[in-house]
Chains A and B, each alone.
Chain A
Amino acid sequence: MDDDELASMYELIQLLSSLNDTRRSILQALAHVYPRSVSGVQLSRMIGYSGKSRSLYRGVLAHMEENNLISIDQLTPRLYAIRINNEHPLLDLLVEISRKYGGATRKIYLRSLEEE
């Protein structure tokens, strides 16, 4: 690992640890299932969110999109496709390491997505 990568890794850890549990688990889940996008209901199941998905959208996802952490495409008025923003300089790194070393975790997340 060269110096730039280490510096980015430091910043990534700092960014992730500054977020609260909900936001952190969203990024973790989305990084593992990348390049798939998920709907709001699937996401709230993946992160074990107990509240309504509307409150997840208004309070959490909208703010994360504002900060360019995730991107949200509105497919229909009620259906959203939520993805991690892989053009983000630090989250790109998170996606990369999750794809490289997170195969087993990815399987678990994908299985929870298949169970409809």
Chain B
Amino acid sequence: MDRLLKRAQGLYLDRQRIALSAFMVVFVVTLYMFYSPGIVGIAEPPEWFPPGWSEGLEVVASFNTVGFLLAFAVMVFAYGFWQWAFLPTPAVSYTRTVLAGIFGRGAKVTQTIGKRFRVFLDGDAYVDVTCRIRGQGSGNWFAYRLTSSPISRTDAEDIALRHGMSVKKGRFTTWISNEELHSRTLLLAKAMYLALHT
């Protein structure tokens, strides 16, 4: 793996550890905040309930629990959002350097939240490059998904096939590993050139 990506991997693991421990601290504080004031029950348990049970039930079925669950959902959402959006800086500069190497320094590359890059080619053609930090189940670090702008040609399937790609929703798409970022993006650009100019 590239030196920059190695650094990005270390940074990511580090940040994940920090985020998880912050998550745990916030969890404990929220738990304390919601249950230390008096318990506000939603409904009275029926008379025939054993007294020990109804005392426990009063704590569980209370507005405190509703509030706590809401706060917990917000925490999970915030963590999920962070995981979706965060791409370590070395990985960003790796991606940008490789893309600039293929399309030239002058090419316009924009980065949007959620690890997505878009390279604008001549005309209104573009290439979307989406990074995935760690593949689920595969354990591969920094895989990329390449997607071209829409290709409206009847033989698009054939062109994609000859470049080892597939067509999804009228776009050339392929999953690649980080070592292939340079060579496969080059090939995608060539396939798009063939599709748009011949």
Contact = CB atoms under 8 A, between A and B. Distances in A.
Is chain B's binding surface mostly helix, strand, loop or mixed? mixed
Contacts of B158: 89
B135 A15 contact: no
B137 A54 contact: yes
Contacts, number: 59
Interface residues of A, number: 23
Contacts of A51: 139
Contact of B161 (A17, A57, A88): A88
Nearest to B183: A18
Interface in A74-116: 88-90
B135 A59 contact: yes
Interface string B127-161: 00000000111111001000000000000001001
Contact of B174 (A20, A58, A63): A63
A59 B187 contact: no
Interface string A59-77: 1100100111100000000
B184 A18 contact: yes
A20 B161 CA distance: 18
B140 A20 contact: no
A14 B189 CA distance: 13
A11 interface: yes
10 contacts: A11-B162, A18-B164, A19-B180, A20-B177, A55-B140, A60-B138, A67-B164, A67-B166, A68-B161, A89-B161
